[in-house]
Structure 1
Amino acid sequence: MHIDLETLLVTPAEMAGIDRDAANSGIDSFALMERAGQAVAAAALRHYPGAFRFAVLAGPGNNGGDGYVAARALAMSGCPVEIFGFGPAPTHGDAGRARKRYRGPVRPLQDYVPAVGDVVIDALFGAGLSRDLDGQVGAVIERVNWLALPVVAIDLPSGVDGRTGRVRGAALQASHTVTFMCRKPGHLLMPGRALCGDTEVFDIGIPGRIVAAASHHLRVNEPGIWRMSLPRASAGAHKYGHGHLAVFSGGRLATGAARLSASAGLKAGAGLVTLLTPAEAADDNAAHLTAVMLRQIDNVAALRALIADPRLSAFVLGPGFGDFARARDYVMALRDRPLVLDADGITAFRDKPPELFSAFADGPTHLVLTPHDGEFARVFADIADDPALSKVDRARQAARRSNAVIVLKGADTVIAAPDGRALINANAPPWLATAGSGDVLSGIIGAHLAQGMPAFEAAAAAVWRHGEAGRRAGSGLTAEDLINVLNGLDQIK
């Protein structure tokens, strides 16, 4: 996978190991702390040059040490600064050294009275927090958030778990977050992402090779990761060379979702798209289709006859499908073919998950599951119920169990492969949460599979394109708007 530090994500435990490896390699750890604190001070001055007071809330660990450095830099710049410390003042290590170099007084955290005009420098806990905050800290956080004071968080807003993005009792709402070397999962997983404000990644001087060596195949979903897998049209290209996608329609009163998927698949680059419809819905579908073809399929025998044609290269089953028993039968018939299973296609296996997983257990991964949290819990109940797991952990475990690529949807969609690779998507605007949006995503993934993309790259590229389409369509979009603004594969830079 791509190793650009802009896309790489490391957990707090991995970052602690990176810090140790850097120190063991001969890099001065206090010099790293100095650079980190100076970067925070620079960001605070850049964004809030007119602050009445910089209130630095400093914890007892290295995050607090960064805060002492930032406070010293701000004071040397002539800014009004006060530090409020939580817990015992650091006396040893880099944090103790930073505390000694700060010449001003340090008052206890409970003395801090937030006031309009304050800019808070949050140096309490950072990304390594693994417990719920106590009441004293929670009370300060509540007062700061109630006044909506600007907060510049060091590494991660205090109260946000850097591994999971969850809030540990209470959390500061930051306007800006300054982190170092690369982002943590908590910067992108909800609700942490919403609490970070604008996140700036500052290179404090740890060699990229040390950072990359400690990571475990977790990245931000960006085109650089999958761009080389995108199919490119040659001068002699024809429609069959771009793949033939088939999408299953539901019954007469549930045809729209499948048509959205089919239209998205055609727009996303599939050379041909066929809607597979039951007889009861054939007339309704025929009245709405133009470039998308139509084929009546009412049972497994008819499906088996259809898929004898190898030119049908990928399938989407689930959007608006409704008939769970038939869905299971169709999936079993398609066990050797690239398949996107969404919505009702996933729910159809809520009582028989092992049947689905065993059907796709062998060979290269060619199944993509696209659940939201509720659908995920129906087929991966034990994984969904484990409170210790992050969203990334859940997606990875589900991918390994099912031998499928998992697209665990949401504002912080995670894409995971059975081999442990995982991506967190970050480009989806909030207005993408609209009826039919997921059906469009399934069609884009199907189009990528139909064109021969590997399942993981097909899903990752589709999730990113889906988010980009939402951004371009703007707030108030409908699912049809998403389809209309899907750009061609050759336009992704």
Structure 2
Amino acid sequence: MSVNRAVLPATLYTAEQTRVLDRTAINEFGIPGIRLMQRAGHAVFAEMLERFPSVTAITFLCGAGNNGGDGFVVALLAKQKGFDVQLICIGDEHFSAGLQGEALAAWEQLQAIYPTYELYRPGMSFRGALLVDAMLGTGLSGHVRGAFRAAIEQLNASSKPVISVDTPSGLCADTGRVLGVAVRADMTLSFIGMKRGLLTGEAVDYCGTLLFDDLKVPDDVYEAIPVNLFRTTDDDLRECLPPRLKASHKGKFGHLLVIGGNRGMGGAALLASEAAIRSGAGLVTLATRAEHVVASLSRCPEVMVKSVDSGAHLQPLLEQADVIVLGPGLGQNAWAEQMLAAALAVDKPMVLDADALNLMASKQLFTQYDRHQRARWICTPHPGEASRLLDMTVLEIEHDRFSAVEKLQAVCGGAVVLKGAGSLVSAGDASYLCNGGNPGMSVGGMGDVLSGICGAFLAQKMTPENAARIAVYVHAKAADAVAQSQGEVGMLASDLFLTIPKVINGKYE
């Protein structure tokens, strides 16, 4: 029976948690470690045959740990099938003496069939048409140095396709950070536990096609390891947005108020408003500057638009609304401050985005509101806004996005979205990752669309936690649908308006 390794699991693990899974399978369930290593090697070899059918010569670069052991297994299988194998080991003349456990057993099995290997020398020839990276795996803690660095740089400089075993060497499996230098793989096959760092940050440019194999580890092994990070999937979307009852009416799906669109920034609030109505909110009102009213009505007459000049003018609209989205195109002048103060004075579910977050950070306002009120909020910072909220640099945020989103949630309360490649959502006890989306989303207005979707889901009675994670997923998947039909470059935020309902209604797979 064929295995679809392209389907990634929903539960995500750190490298240490994966090692615990491995030890649990071996020590408590009696699965020999060498058998797991052999299964890993067979999985890599099967994908290699399927994805690179014309290759006849393969170069293996192996370290002395278990990652190298996996490589030895694949090299043995390749040799037995008649491939031209070049085995390059990263180390000195005592390389084999440093092997232990399963890696040593795999080495001895390979040496019995194919005793030829070379020690890596900078600039040496990689003869194979396909390169296999089995150098470092998940055990790396500091930056890559010495022969490993030279081998990775040479591998990346080649024009040949690369398969990474478990994790691209040089990539932190916990954070997705490049530790000085990392292999840029065309395909990565990860084992036993899906490493969280492979799905966010810099890692998305290094893993290539990401695959997974659980190596037939029993479900009971996974149930023994507590986890709090999950990948959002179609199943979550269907669970949180079930089909509507036939007797439904607009009053059942909430009244959302979008506040924003300061002078020169009217488009942001228009995008958020239309995204909300496209995402199923029953009623959407836009409170904006007077000069944007005509444009809004022309753009989307389904949105009720009101001009507001002050916080006092906003008050009746706040009383009518069930949920508030504050921030798209808000600005940071006196008008913006009045809008913020008026919105914060009512205790209603709220999405805080863009300049609302910047104002909150500059005035240190989060600490002025109790946990009960903040528990009803969704905050959606990009890394720049997150850096201001946490008083950290953007680089520090990006080096460990998982830690950053947890810190953001501690500051902001409720649910927090840290936008970027592999967007993260934290609600305190649990966090979520969305591995959808594409570079075409790197354009102005995409964040405004996301805030509108978040608000619409809050209006439909989702919890902030579910509204945030499902909104991020729908947003990414709608953008992927656009990219599939027209490509990534030139995508507009408003292009998502026709695909958002298709994703929500299960019309796009």
Q: Give your verdict on TM over 0.5.
A: yes
Does structure 1 residue 468 correspond to structure 2 residue 477? yes
What is the correspondence of 1:198-237 to structure 2 with a 5 Å cutoff?
198-230=209-241, 232-237=243-248
- Which residue does 1:94 correspond to in 2? 102
**Structure 1 pair 54/283, CA: closer, same or farther in 2 (3 Å)?**
closer
1:186-240: CA deviation from partner (whole Å, max 9, x where unpaired):
2211211221111221121222232243252212221223432225421211111
Shift of 1:422: 1.2
Of 61, 66, 76, the match for 2:80: 76
Specify the SS of the correspondent of 1:452: coil
Partner of 1:359: 369
Query: Secondary structure in 2 aligned to 1:168?
Result: coil
Query: Tell me, what secondary structure is at the counterpart of 2:409?
Result: helix
CA distance in 1, matches of 2:304, 2:262: 17
| Distance in 2 of aligned mates of 1:483 and 1:288 | 12
Deviation at 1:291, TM superposition (A): 1.0
How far apart, CA to CA, are the structure 2 residues paired with 1:36 and 1:425?
A: 26
Q: Give per-residue Cα distances to partners, 1:107-158, cap 9 Å, x unaligned.
A: 2122772446531111101123211111322222222211221111100111
1:37 is aligned to 41
Q: Give the 3-state SS of the residue equivalent to 1:298 in structure 2.
A: coil
- 1:439-478 to structure 2, matched below 5 A, reads 439-474=448-483, 475=487, 476-478=490-492
Match of residue 4 from structure 2: none
Contact (CA 8 Å) 1:360, 1:402: kept in 2 or not? no
Secondary structure in structure 2 of the residue aligned to 1:196: coil
Change (3 A) 1:350 1:327: farther
Say which SS state the counterpart of residue 491 (structure 1) adopts.
coil
**Alignment correspondent of 2:381:** 371
Moved more, 256-265 or 298-307: 298-307
Per-residue CA deviation, residues 445-483 of structure 1 (Å, 9 max, x unaligned), is 110001111111111111111112112222222122111
Single out whichever of 271-280 and 15-24 deviates more from structure 2: 271-280
Instruction: Quickly say closer, same or farther: Cα 1:257–1:100, change in 2 above 3 A.
Output: same
Tell me which stretches of 4 or more aligned residues in structure 1 moved more than 4 Å: 279-289, 382-389
* Distance (Å, rounded) in 2 between the aligned partners of 1:295 and 1:454: 28
Superposed, 1:32-181 pairs within 5 Å as 32-87=36-91, 88-89=95-96, 90-103=98-111, 104-110=115-121, 113-115=124-126, 117-181=128-192
Give the deviation of 1:174 after TM superposition.
0.9
Q: Deviation string for 1:20-73 (max 9, x for gaps)?
A: 111111221111111111222222233223334211111111111111111111
C-alpha distance in 2 between matches for 1:58 and 1:116: 15
State the 1:295 CA deviation.
2.4
Is the 1:116–1:147 contact (alpha carbons within 8 Å) kept by the matching residues of 2?
Answer: no
* Number of residue pairs the alignment of both structures matches: 485
Residue 402 in structure 1 maps to residue 412 in structure 2: yes
Quick one: distance in 2 between partners of 1:403 and 1:313? 19
Quote the Cα distance in structure 1 between the aligned partners of 2:207 and 2:268.
35
- Fraction of identical pairs, as percent: 32
Alpha-carbon contact 1:5-1:182 (below 8 Å) kept: no
| TM-score, length of structure 1 as denominator length | 0.92
**Mapped partners of 2:398, 2:459: distance in 1:** 37
Residues 400 and 417, structure 1, Cα contact 8 Å, conserved in 2: no
Partner amino acid, structure 2, of 1:365: A
Task: Give the gaps of 5 or more residues in structure 2.
Answer: 1-6
